[in-house]
Chain A
Amino acid sequence: MTERDMPNDSLLPSPDGSDDELVGQLQDELSAYRYTPRPLVLGNDDGPSSRFAWAPLVRWSAAASLLIAAAWWGVGLGTGRGADPETTDYAAGFALTVIEGTPRVAGAGVAAGDVLAAGERLVCDEASRVRLTIGDAGHVELGPGSQLLARAPDGPGWRLDLLAGELRASIFTAPRLFTVGTPAGLAVDMGCEYTARVEDDGSTSLRVTGGLVVFEGAGRSAWVPEGAVLTVDIASGPRSPVWEDLDPRYAELLAEVDGWATQPPEVLSQQQRDTLAEVTSVARAQDSLMLWHLLDHPLALVRKAALGGLQDLVRNESLSPPPSWADVDDLLSADPRALEAWREFLLYDWESE
């Protein structure tokens, strides 16, 4: 049944019916672009069956254990084009291209055609920049004053450790195949472009300009979509990510609330309660990004306030509600299954920021 047959579709309520009429006109106009069913050609690809029999086993694992498990079973992770485990040699090293200056590996200047092998350290002085090719999944650019260590793959995928300075990654492949370790944790690529920076004290900042990155550290995971930034402390792990264009004052207040996770006050002062109220009273659906990350805060008061803010967004801003099977107690107790399921819906709101 087409829309033309359903002029009273309640999903487009317009009191005078003008939306229904306009929809019909536009559907006629755009009919030449309509999807034409075509058979799906899967070729001789074996698909997921033989390579993924272990998938349920790692469902609860973090990215690192997923990769380890894959190696243990000697099977591969299904990927998008160019990263098929049966054709991709993840241990082949990283081809280097000097952009400027004199990047060095083991004290020697990088020359054309050089490859950074596992265990080798790449160093850029303040006048150098270099590009690493990540298979055919994309590339990484290491900036001035930076150091990088290539790690041996322990399963399907590529792993680099950013020891100091800054790198910019542009990766387009299946999720979780490319990871960057820092002193503060692990950035897991979900198909994205981002900049990671390691400060002198080992803290890490992440700025995502495309796609999605998950950062795992100190037992906590932060989901950082395009347009968001993240700060990660070595001791306390990732803070709540924030949108880059957010009011700096709000970001300061949120950082204060995040800080209560490692140094929880015995009793919240009135000023702290005011701070919490301000942080959890957001107006835009996309600001659920910050509130969702507060749902696993150690302080019950914070979790309760965050959930209240999210429920306001559901009511007033059409934010995606939690899954129907998850009740308030599940959410207030930071039940991982409930939070993860809700996040799956919220990702769309975050991606649409």
Chain B
Amino acid sequence: MTHSPSTSTSATNTAGSALAVFVARAKGGDRDAFCELHARLAPMIHAVLLARVAASEVDDLLQEAFVAGWRGLSGLRDDEHVGAWLATIARRLAARHHARPAPATRDVTETVDDEPTDPRPSAAAKVGAAEILGEVTALPEAYRELLMMRLVNGMTGPEIAAATGRPPDSVRVSLSRGMAQLRDRLSRRGWP
């Protein structure tokens, strides 16, 4: 029985090591280092939250997640996994957000407040941005966060792998499967 680690996994570890440098400095109280982590990881955390709560709630929870991360940074045992750790905090905050009284539940009909102010003309005008977002949100959890990173924040596969700490091959397969499911769902809604 043998195991042959892929070189792509090594690439992920390299990215994690780069983040770990900032984590180490931030643990020493360096605010600038933590702000650098924020700059690098905020798009990923933003996508994690957008997969769970209404768009109008994301910015506040994003700020809350990083503040919680700043306060609890020494609770992080493996500095290289700071992205996954912050994502867990964000998921927890999103869960707590849903536990609050009378939160807005997320579904495809929730378009009034969240409709983009500048929807661009497209060939698929019948299926608006909110509906597309709703379809992504309806995907299995394994896919929806990654597709939010990909489709909303324009992150490439390697960038997603670096931010989340997931192996690139795993990200690639999940993105591919998620896109296949999303394509099916959009087709049923009349996407060309």
Q: Which residues of A contact B (CB under 8 A)?
A: 1-4, 6, 9-14, 19, 22-23, 25-35, 37-43, 45-52, 55, 59, 77-81, 84, 170, 172, 174-176, 191, 210-211, 304, 307-308, 311, 318-325, 327-328, 331, 340-341, 344-345, 347-349, 351-352
Contact = CB atoms under 8 A, between A and B. Distances in A.
Interface of B: 1-3, 5-6, 9-10, 13, 26-31, 34-35, 38-39, 42-43, 46-47, 50, 55, 59, 63-64, 66-68, 70-75, 77-78, 81, 84, 88-89, 91-93, 95-96, 99, 116-120, 122-124, 128-129, 132-133, 140-142, 150-154, 156-158, 164-176, 179, 182-183
Nearest to A26: B151
Nearest to B63: A41
Given A32-B129, A172-B99, A351-B91, 13 more contacts: A13-B176, A22-B183, A30-B133, A40-B42, A40-B67, A47-B70, A48-B70, A50-B29, A79-B71, A321-B3, A325-B13, A344-B84, A348-B166
The 6 closest A-B pairs by CB, nearest first: A49-B29, A32-B116, A11-B157, A52-B74, A55-B74, A352-B142
Contact of A174 (B3, B13, B72, B168): B72
A11 B149 CA distance: 13
Contacts of A30: 129, 132-133, 151-152
A141 B67 CA distance: 30
Contact of A48 (B3, B27, B66, B152): B27
B95 A172 contact: yes
Contact of A11 (B26, B128, B152, B175): B175
A172 B116 CA distance: 32
Given A80-B72, A191-B92, A311-B1, A42 B81 contact: no
Nearest to A84: B71
B13 A324 contact: yes
B63 A320 contact: no
Contact of A348 (B43, B67, B84): B84
Main secondary structure of the interface of B (DSSP, over half): helix
A2 B132 contact: no
Given A3-B156, A45-B71, A40 B38 contact: yes
B166 A19 contact: no
Contact of A81 (B1, B64, B84, B176): B64
B164 A34 contact: no
B84 to A, nearest CB: 7
A322 B170 CA distance: 12
Q: Which of B1, B47, B63 has the most CB of A within 10 A?
A: B1
Contact of B95 (A211, A321, A323): A211
B171 A11 contact: yes
A28 to B, nearest CB: 6
A175 to B, nearest CB: 6
Nearest to B66: A40
Contacts of A79: 68, 71-72
B78 A52 contact: no
B60 to A, nearest CB: 11
A91 B192 CA distance: 62
A78 B167 contact: no
A67 B99 CA distance: 28
Given A33-B129, A318-B169, A352-B141, A11 B156 contact: yes
A80 B92 CA distance: 10
A312 B158 CA distance: 24
B170 to A, nearest CB: 5
